[in-house]
Homo-oligomer: A and B are copies of this chain.
Amino acid sequence: MKIIKVRTKPAYEIEIRGGLLTDLAQDLKDRGYGDRYFLITDSNVRQLMAEDLLEMLREAGLPVEILSFPAGEASKNMATVVELARKMVQAGADRRSAIVAFGGGVTGDIAGFLASIYMRGIAYIQIPTTLLAQVDSSVGGKTGVDLPEGKNLLGTFYQPRRVYIDYAVLGLLPLREIRQGLAEVVKYGMIKSQRLFKYLERHSGEIMQLEPEPLEHIIAESCRIKAWVVSKDEKEAGLRRILNFGHTLGHAFEAASAWRLPHGEAVAVGMVAAAKISEKRGLISPEITHRLENLLTSLGLPVRLALELPVSEVLTYLRSDKKARSQWPVFVLVRDIGETVFDPEVPEAMVKEVAEELGCR
């Protein structure tokens, strides 16, 4: 078991342990986050594991209700939030009720957002069930929903009271789902930890076998790095932008593919792009890019785009990035594994060239 302390305001802990869901009811009772609990999940996770968890919690005498919404990013909108809120009011949820987000990133975003605005904010516990959610959305307090005009345009910064990560649940998911999370783990190595990067190089085989020890290690290290970054910069003013490594182009690839390209795979190729740009800006040798490509490949992640995306759309998206000042993104580059540099002056022609090397047309 590992415990990571996240020093946001308010601070909270992430507990990482295989099989911890078995003891969840007792832990929630001991900690008393709410008089009643509302388990929020999507239709897939509900069938796959949430009904079982519900039964276990109820058998242990915890007052808990379950609410779900159709799985998928298409549900991540205000209509879903309003519908869940109305069901909670109808079920008598008040300020002392607590929300348990049980699922992947979309569930965390929706349930966290709902918790942050329900009667102006109620307690909220997160149980991420995908590796991506475990290493990414369990730290940072970002919640939100999409608008037809773009993703995550409405939301809040709202910290959970506690995050429970049970990596035993990962065995229930398809391997492709795991790989989406591994891309983020590689990112943490690239931006902040040569040691984590080397660990991944040495243990990629065991990780792909979902062996408990290396899983616990890489999840804990990822959360630790993200927690460190977020505690230094809760509202995303400066340092936190290093987390965008591989994401600037990654998001553009996702958008240009109309979200057919899964997030982790887009980020994997986005990181290769960032490494190539770092090379061209004279920051690193091609050797670093090769090590990155090799690691991604050994984890089953792509290093080139599998879809032919129009480079013009990728560039258009970059120019409208909501994180960009002055209509062109600040790129997060590396000058070594574990060391980032912000570069606001990457020439558009250079980005175009790299995008084309990676399979854009």
CB of A117 within 8 A of CB of B155, answer: yes
Say yes or no for A177: interface residue by CB 8 A criterion: no
CB of B149 within 8 A of CB of A86, answer: yes
Near B by CB (< 8 A), chain A positions 150-197 give 150, 152-157
CB distance from A300 to the nearest CB of B (A): 33
Contact with B along A335-347 (1 / 0, CB 8 A): 0000000000000
Across-interface contacts of A81 in B (CB, < 8 A): 78
Across-interface contacts of A301 in B (CB, < 8 A): none
> How many identical chains are in the complex?
2
A120, A144, A155, A322 — most chain B CB neighbours (10 Å): A120
CB of B85 within 8 A of CB of A118, answer: no
Task: Select A78's contact among B82, B144, B322, beta carbons within 8 Å.
Answer: B82
CB of A153 within 8 A of CB of B119, answer: yes
Task: Select A90's contact among B118, B149, B157, beta carbons within 8 Å.
Answer: B149
Say yes or no for A138: interface residue by CB 8 A criterion: no
Near B by CB (< 8 A), chain A positions 110-149 give 116-121, 142, 144, 147-149
Q: A94-B322, A147-B89, A322-B94 are in contact. Are A118 and B153 (CB under 8 A)?
A: yes
Across-interface contacts of A325 in B (CB, < 8 A): 96
Say yes or no for A95: interface residue by CB 8 A criterion: yes
> What is the chain B residue whose CB lies nearest that of A143?
B120
Across-interface contacts of A117 in B (CB, < 8 A): 117, 144, 154-156
Near B by CB (< 8 A), chain A positions 46-77 give none
Contact with B along A304-340 (1 / 0, CB 8 A): 0000000000000000001001000000000000000
CB distance from A85 to the nearest CB of B (A): 6
CB pairs A–B below 8 angstroms (9 shown): A78-B82, A82-B147, A85-B147, A85-B153, A96-B325, A119-B155, A119-B322, A120-B156, A120-B157
